[in-house]
Amino acid sequence: MSELTVVGLGPMGSTMAETFLAAGHRVAVWNRTESKTGPLVAKGARRAATAADGELLVISQIGYQAMYDSLGEAGLEGKVVVNLSSGTPDELREAAGWVAERGGTLITAGIMVPPPGIGKPGAYTFYSGPEEVLDRHAATLRALGEVTYVGEDHGLAMMYYQSQLLIFWSSLTSYMHATALLGTAGVAPKDFLPFASGIFTQLGGDGPMGYAKILADSFEAGVYPGEQNSLHMQAVGLGHAVEALEQAGLETTVPKALARLFERADAEGRGEEGLGTVIESIRKP
């Protein structure tokens, strides 16, 4: 088993530390508010003297500035810093240089489960940076979930992470709009749940509603067939959905923004193409 230091003991970091301990690793913990280390020390962790105490530093903080503040001017010679904090891809690339200037190596990461899912079946984390360095510590990091390497570019882990979250946030927000709309007609959330679950499952499947694959094929080819299901038709239908929300007295900021995007693609002369043509408007704002 290996030794590591977990830096940042919010809900994510604390659960990571507990998961590493449960897997038999020797874990040190550090937090800017030292009192948060107590429960983990009681479970067998060591209280680290500084955030840079250790050769493998696993960081889970609110953002990359927190890493700079926590590590300060500490030397990082020979250390591997695995940072699972949120930031922009460019921030992560800059952070790789900052760590390298101090003699260390940065591996960037984005974990794709909330705290209760860490270390459980189905958990996985995107990693980017030097693959050979990640490989040396993959057995340790696997305690958190599947190790999914996405490339040398330090920004890629966050791009994958944020791409997944864009789907997560927008899909679940649309589910909230849908549930609220039906609620104005007296439909209970649990009565609608089977239909909502079905559309989520079908969109990722292989059938006629398997639009994730259908669109991926269209994006690869750069061709968006719309003979049977044109963007113009979709834009009109979306406009009606926005009107239904307004008539029900509900909030419409996100649906209206989506409608404007569809209308723009239509106005750009691609209304007879398929839904996938909207990506061309997204690429050229």
pLDDT at 229: 87
- Which tens digits make up the pLDDT trace of 234-256? 999 999 999 999 999 999 999 99
Residue 123 belongs to domain with CATH number? 3.40.50.720
72 lies in the same domain as 192: no
17 lies in the same domain as 143: yes
Instruction: Please state the domain count of the chain.
Output: 2
128 lies in the same domain as 14: yes
User: Is the pLDDT reported for residue 1 higher than 90?
Assistant: no
User: Is the pLDDT reported for residue 277 higher than 90?
Assistant: yes
CB 88 within 8 A of CB 158: yes
Domain termination site, one of 139, 160, 181: 160
CB 219 within 8 A of CB 279: yes
172 lies in the same domain as 247: yes
Q: How far is CA 62 from CA 42, 69, 71, 84, 249, in A?
A: 25, 12, 14, 9, 36
Domain termination site, one of 121, 136, 160: 160
β-bridge partners, 83:
59, 108
Domain termination site, one of 128, 160, 192: 160
179 lies in the same domain as 230: yes
CB 15 within 8 A of CB 40: no
- Which tens digits make up the pLDDT trace of 107-137? 999 999 999 999 999 999 999 999 999 999 9
Average pLDDT over residues 256-270: 97
pLDDT band at 194 (very low <50, low <70, confident <90, very high): very high
CB 142 within 8 A of CB 82: no
- Which tens digits make up the pLDDT trace of 223-236? 999 988 899 999 99
pLDDT at 192: 98
Structural domain containing residue 245: 167-283
128 lies in the same domain as 97: yes
pLDDT at 156: 98
8 lies in the same domain as 148: yes
71 lies in the same domain as 124: yes
pLDDT at 228: 86
Residue 257 belongs to domain with CATH number? 1.10.1040.10
Average pLDDT of the chain to the nearest whole number: 97
Answer yes or no: pTM beyond 0.85.
yes
